[in-house]
Structure 1
């Protein structure tokens, strides 16, 4: 069993490593093309400013020094990247390898993991027991997401409270149109944006749903750990099967509620 676990873990590590290498290689290739192009555009922009804006006068020193510094930086970055890519020093792990080739390696590694997992898959009871042991991490994630959305909701509410109060206070305090007019416009804009964002993203509802799912999963995890209803059966395998079925149903319900929150109000009513 330990050898099987180690083999599957190693496959996952190899896939994670390849995924990171693909990301790094994409950035490297992007830099190889984008940096010299950016340097050329910077030089052309510098020349364009001189020709179209300061043709009959001297270009201001801040513009010259800023443009010169950016050009030097981009040229140095281009030289460094080309040296890392085409020199024999092997400064990059995958220099000379295309992103397409790395993605092919990643696909082959994933296919190999799937075939190996089919060959080494442990019995159902062991997988269900492992599933139960992974739930504390899932519960912690749900609670963390719930706290995140709760904080966003509280921040939005405080902004609404303060901005709404400030609108009344500024209106009562200032008689002349300025600067009260500008302040009122800014505060009214803030209230409108925050109200629209709160209605669209619904952080309060998201926090409530996540917290409710986390509490339900934790309740079932405690029940199976203590051997109480609905997992008081003497057959441990039957308890695990019932437990995993229930938890997956709770997670599916949570995903459905998230999808409903992501839909417009009319779409939510149609789903419901």
Structure 2
């Protein structure tokens, strides 16, 4: 009977202790730790916004590039592609096609072999560089956040340890109550820095690999387009020079 009474008198563990403990740790954090957490929160929101925006834009670019290549290979004339190129605008291949086509039109008016093939190759390189520069925009922020976030968290860790030693010196005894607030600050800021940095590193590496793929595709498409222009120009029948002279005489 006495054991039953002792068991009834024993306090039960509080429900939701994990969440309340985390909230209590945040509530007891000092101003430096809170400033570090707020800074890391803004960095996390900004990096995730870039990741989602780039993922969406790269997906549209890949889809439109595949459709543009299929339309290009089915067409027989550059003018046909030029009229529908705007429909595939998110694709970087459209920029390459537009630059090469404009340079070809300036040189020949759309007929015959280009007078300066090197200029077409330079136009293709310039267009590829411009397209990649657009797609690379704001990716440096991901690299910056990935590199800085752990050090920001480490700064909060150092300050938390300093607070822990300060608590030991104030109370004059090595008790858990004296060091708990400082240790909790150190652990929270360290974890927050890693949570912010890891997605930024993964996103930056993945997008960098995708940019290399887009660069290779643009180079391949530029070579294919230049070959198509050369083959189409060579297959065009040449106008007889005798008839041209007669027309000039008349």
With normalisation by structure 2, the TM-score equals 0.33
Select the structure with the greater relative contact order (CA < 8 A; seq sep ≥ 6).
2
